[in-house]
Amino acid sequence: MPISFLILLFIVLGIVLLTVKPRNVARPVDFKKLGLASFALAVLALLSASFTIIEPGFVGVPVTFGNVGQQSLPAGIHPIFFLTDVYKMSIQTKAYTMSSVRNEGNKVGDDAVATLSRDQLILKFDVSVWYHLDPAQANNVYSNIGLDYEEVIVRPAIRTALVNAATKFDASDVMSLQRDAYTKMVTELLLQELNGRGVILDNVLIRNVEPPATVSDAIAAKLKASQEAQQMEYTIQYAQKEAQRKAIEAQGISNAQKIIGNGLTQNYLQWYYISQLKELVNSPNNSTVILPYDQKLTPLLNIGGKKP
């Protein structure tokens, strides 16, 4: 119930109570006191209606007899005409989300924006836009658009910006390297759409881009081929390194054999032969090993590939 109606009600009730004459003389009713009390309530209601409090994060739009005030009321307490209605509008940052995921966006169900790209492929965008009401333009927004400016202005502007920007890009570009460029163009177009509307744009977030099924399959095949190519390249590199390792190992063995072969002189073989015979003599085993040798006690071995 509007407070102005209560004020008028208490005034009329006070007048009626002051003019009425009691009929029950045995138990007279003091209508005069009741009338004065009604006038007191009217005064209290009038004082209450002469001030308004605007909470932080809001502005007040005064409307008197259908006329919107020229200036909005900032946060705080303000004296007003008691017949003035004040509509409070939020100036805090809001997020408008359009998503294909149910109950994730501002609308129930699939609310993603579907549009054609430059190469005539259908793309679906999940987007969130941060914005806030311009405090200085709140009275104009209320007067020209209304309290539901989000659905009247913000939502159509988002859809228009997404659609117009998509016509400048191929589908593959939007989904890969040029997403930042696409987001930048959407932001510029959205700024143009909201210019002069009393809504200030804070940020645009392209949350997801859903390509057509054919493009998704092509992307998946391309990724699979790329992974297989990388695996094959790794296999080839491993085989090359393994071949190099074996070649180095073989070269080392060959070099070692050459060094050993060059060191097998007659004097060394005689010394080594005698030392081994001494160990056999001192060994607790009873076995006997006899090796062929010449008159100089040189073992008759096949050295250097020559037969004795």
Report pLDDT digits (tens) over 153-164.
999 999 999 999
Confidence class of residue 308 from pLDDT cuts 50, 70 and 90?
Answer: very low
Report pLDDT digits (tens) over 73-99.
999 999 888 778 889 999 999 999 999
- Any alpha helices (H) in the chain, and if so which ranges? 3-19, 31-49, 138-144, 149, 155-166, 171-174, 179-194, 213-263, 266-282
pLDDT, average across residues 216-240: 75
Domain boundaries of the chain, sorted by first residue: 3-90, 94-211, 265-308
At the fourth CATH level, the homologous superfamily of domain 94-211 is Band 7 domain (3.30.479.30)
Question: For residues 200 and 136, is the Cβ–Cβ distance under 8 A?
Answer: no
CA gap 127, 223 in Å, rounded: 26
Q: How many CA atoms lie within 13 A of 22 on its CB side?
A: 11
Q: Which residue has the higher pLDDT, 49 or 55?
A: 55
DSSP annotation string for 148-212: THIIIIIHHHHHHHHHHHHTTS-HHHHTTTTHHHHHHHHHHHHHHHHTTTTEEEEEEEEEEEE--
Question: For residues 215 and 119, is the Cβ–Cβ distance under 8 A?
Answer: no
pLDDT at 83: 79
CA gap 243, 204 in Å, rounded: 55
CA gap 136, 306 in Å, rounded: 109
The residue to which tokens 């993603």 are assigned: 112
Partnered with residue 125 across adjacent β-strands are 113, 209
Partnered with residue 129 across adjacent β-strands are 96, 204
pLDDT at 159: 94
CA gap 241, 239 in Å, rounded: 5
pLDDT at 141: 93
Report pLDDT digits (tens) over 9-19.
767 777 777 77
pLDDT, average across residues 209-237: 74
CA gap 302, 101 in Å, rounded: 85
For residue 216, the SS3 value is helix
